A = this chain, B = another copy of it.
Amino acid sequence: MIPGPTPVPETVLKAMGRHPIGHRSGEFQAVVRRTTEQLRWLHQTQADVLVITGSGTAAMEAGIINTLSRGDKVICGDNGKFGERWVKLAKAYGLDVQVVKADWGQPLDPEAFRTALAADTDKKIKAIILTHSETSTGVINDLETISQYVRAHGTALTIADCVTSLGACNVPMDSWGIDVVASGSQKGYMMPPGLSFVAMSERAWQAHKRSDLPKFYLDLGPYQKTAAQDSNPFTPAVNLYFALESALTMMQAEGLDAIFERHARHRAAAQAAMKAIGLPLYAAEGHGSPAITAVAPEGIDAELLRKTVKEQFDILLAGGQDHLKGKVFRIGHLGFVCDRDVLTAVAAIESTLQSLGLHKGNMGAGIAAAAAAMN
Contact = CB atoms under 8 A, between A and B. Distances in A.
B2 A22 contact: yes
Interface in A38-59: 53-58
Given A92-B216, A216-B89, A235 B20 contact: no
A239 B194 contact: yes
Nearest to A65: B214
Contact of A237 (B2, B17, B22, B237): B237
Contacts of A5: 20-23, 235, 238
Interface in A235-290: 235-240
A217 B316 contact: no
A231 interface: no
A13 interface: yes
A193 interface: yes
A165 interface: no
A217 B58 contact: yes
Nearest to A219: B92
Nearest to A234: B55
Given A53-B54, A234-B55, A238-B5, A23 B216 contact: no
Contacts of A194: 53, 194, 236-237, 239-240
Interface string A1-35: 01011011000011011111111010000000000
- CB-based closest 7 A-B pairs: A194-B237, A17-B17, A55-B234, A5-B20, A20-B192, A192-B239, A58-B217
Interface in A189-208: 192-194
Contacts of A21: 5
Contacts of A105: none
A235 B89 contact: no
Give the copy number: 2
A186 interface: yes
A217 B22 contact: no
A91 B2 CA distance: 42
A72 interface: no
Contacts of A237: 192-194, 237, 240
A22 B316 contact: yes
B22 A238 contact: no
A109 interface: no
Contacts of A23: 5, 193
A94 interface: yes
A184 interface: yes
Given A55-B236, A184-B235, A214-B214, 20 more contacts: A2-B22, A5-B238, A16-B17, A16-B239, A22-B316, A54-B54, A54-B58, A55-B217, A57-B216, A61-B217, A88-B216, A89-B216, A94-B214, A192-B238, A192-B239, A193-B237, A194-B194, A194-B237, A194-B240, A217-B218
B316 A25 contact: yes
Contacts of A2: 22
A127 B192 CA distance: 37
A57 B217 contact: yes
